[in-house]
Structure 1
């Protein structure tokens, strides 16, 4: 085994461990920190694949800004993990398996589509390539995402102001 393969196994284990911890942990704050751990491992995997820009954006945007917002909301709402609630939606457990299989098929199709791309691996994650795709091919989803984030911020401010009054 090469050193690069060992690094990949280590970072992939970090991502999987963080993702499983997000689902298993009962305290939402610890779950948010586990998600940050998963994002950091994912960023390292991006850097290993030669997508340095996407790896840096993963750290700055998701592990930095978005997760800080999540932690702020968790602390603002003062969610307690100690409060036991009776399971009201037991039927949703049976839906997990079909939706999990559907998600697996979707991931497989996305991965097979990405591997069929004829992009040279050296320029896949460069700033020029990401910027060109973002401002041409993915302009509408990019703008819709910015509107969605703006609406989320306005909604959070409205909820915070209503609680204060």
Structure 2
């Protein structure tokens, strides 16, 4: 059986299961953790589609920045039941160790046993090359330099505006 089909099935199962677990949990922090797991599974699916840039952006922007914002808001809510979450949960600890070992073995297998660039057609090689960060960066800084700089200035103006609006007036 092809390794890509197996990886797709595993990642799709993880994404579907984590999305169901995310919306069915009563604890908001646990839901956020399942959302992070879903983001990583989606990034893996993007890698299977040879969209490396989208996979990296998925991890950096969503699993990184957006989840930090979500968790910051959840911590500001100061719920009462959160302190009982991690008391004597041996089953969850062993499950987390099992999942971590499984992921480590899977990554080691992919690194040492797979050879994805073997027997590629020219169309497949062009598809892989078009999704790389180098190709996107080259297009971004040559053909789309002015829109990139305009969006940078708009983000800077929005940041300055947010700081001015949030500044407390000392009188």
Could you tell me the TM-score, scaled by structure 1's length? 0.56
Between the two proteins, the alignment pairs up a number of residues equal to 122
Q: Cα deviations across residues 143-165 of structure 1 (Å, max 9, x unaligned)?
A: 49948x849x76xx95xx8xxxx
CA contact (8 A) 1:39 1:59 kept: yes
C-alpha change, 1:56 and 1:6, in structure 2 (3 Å) is same
C-alpha change, 1:20 and 1:146, in structure 2 (3 Å) is farther
Q: Which residue of 2 aligns with 1:125?
A: 131
Of stretches 13-22 and 126-135 in structure 1, the one that deviates more from structure 2 is 126-135
For residues 14 and 29 of structure 1, what CA distance do their matches in structure 2 show?
Answer: 19
Q: In the alignment, does 2:9 pair up with 1:2?
A: no
For residues 17 and 44 of structure 1, what CA distance do their matches in structure 2 show?
Answer: 15
C-alpha change, 1:68 and 1:9, in structure 2 (3 Å) is same
Gaps of 5+ in 1: 83-119
C-alpha change, 1:22 and 1:150, in structure 2 (3 Å) is farther
Matches within 5 A, 1:29-40: 29-40=29-40
Q: Which residue of 2 aligns with 1:78?
A: 78
For residues 11 and 63 of structure 1, what CA distance do their matches in structure 2 show?
Answer: 16
RMSD: 4.0
Report deviation, 1:39.
0.5
C-alpha change, 1:146 and 1:41, in structure 2 (3 Å) is farther
For residues 56 and 79 of structure 1, what CA distance do their matches in structure 2 show?
Answer: 33
For residues 81 and 25 of structure 1, what CA distance do their matches in structure 2 show?
Answer: 14
Stretches of 4+ moved more than 3 A in 1? 79-82, 128-136, 142-147
Could you tell me the TM-score, scaled by structure 2's length? 0.54
Report deviation, 1:127.
2.0
Q: Cα deviations across residues 118-141 of structure 1 (Å, max 9, x unaligned)?
A: xx52234222454436974xx59x
C-alpha change, 1:25 and 1:146, in structure 2 (3 Å) is farther
